[in-house]
Amino acid sequence: MLETLKTMYDGYGFDNVVGISYFNKFLDELRSYRFSEIFAIQAKTYPLRYVFDFLLSTPSLWVQLSDVEWIEIMNSMNPRPYPLKLSLDNGYFADIHFLAKYIRVNSIEVFLRQPSFRDLDKNYVIQYCQRDVYSFLVDEIDLEDLDGDYFVSEQEIRSVQSRLTYGGIFSNFNFNEDELINFLKKEHSLLNSLQ
C-alpha cells in the first residue's frame, strides 16, 4: 500500500490530470485496503491540500462511512502533534478539517466530546483550528470544484452530511468566521475548566 500511495502522490498534477480522473486509475487497488489505514498514512505523510484533493476525488472510498467509522478514523490519527510547530499545510488534522469544511458537520465538537481522547489532543485540535479559522469556511472556488467531474459533487456531499447528522452524533457545521472563533474560545475554556 505504501508504494501505491507514494506513486499516487509523486504523479499527481503531471500531464494536467488531476482530481477524479487522476485518482480513478488507483481505485481498484485502494479498495483492497481499509480506508482508515489509507487515510491515516496519507494525512501523516502528505500536505493537507493533496489529502483534500485525494478525498474529494475518491468519494466511493468514504461516502458510506458511518459516524462511528469517522470517529474511529479520528482515533487512528491520535496522538496529534503540536500544531503550532507544523506548517499550515500539514495533514495531521485533515480528518477534522475535511469533515468540517467540506461535509459541513461539526467534527470539532465530536472530537472534543470523545471521553477516550486525550485532553492534550483536544487542546491541539483547538489550537489547529484557531490558527487559521478562515480555512474552515468554503468559498466560491471550493464550490465550483464540487461538480462531480473535477471533484465529488456538492449533492453527494450534502447526502453524506444528511446521513451523518441523522445519527445524532454529528451536528451541522454552519459557522461564519466570527461564530467559529467564539465557538473555539468557548470550547477551549470548557476544556481547561475540566482539567
Amino acid at residue number 81: P
Q: Report the alpha-carbon distance of residue 108 to residue 127 in Å, rounded.
A: 11
- Among residues 48, 52, 53, the alpha carbon closest in space to that of 83 is found at 48
Give the pLDDT score at 19.
95
pTM of the model: 0.95
Give the pLDDT score at 17.
87
Give the pLDDT score at 195.
63
Q: Would you say 145 and 20 are in contact if contact means Cβ atoms under 8 Å apart?
A: no
* 169: number of Cβ within 10 Å: 17
3-state secondary structure 129-185: HHHCHHHHCCCHHHHHHCCCCCCCCHHHHHHHHHHHHHCCCCCECCCCHHHHHHHHH
Give the pLDDT score at 166.
94
10-residue averages of pLDDT along the chain (195 residues): 95 89 96 96 96 98 96 96 93 98 98 97 97 92 92 96 95 96 95 78
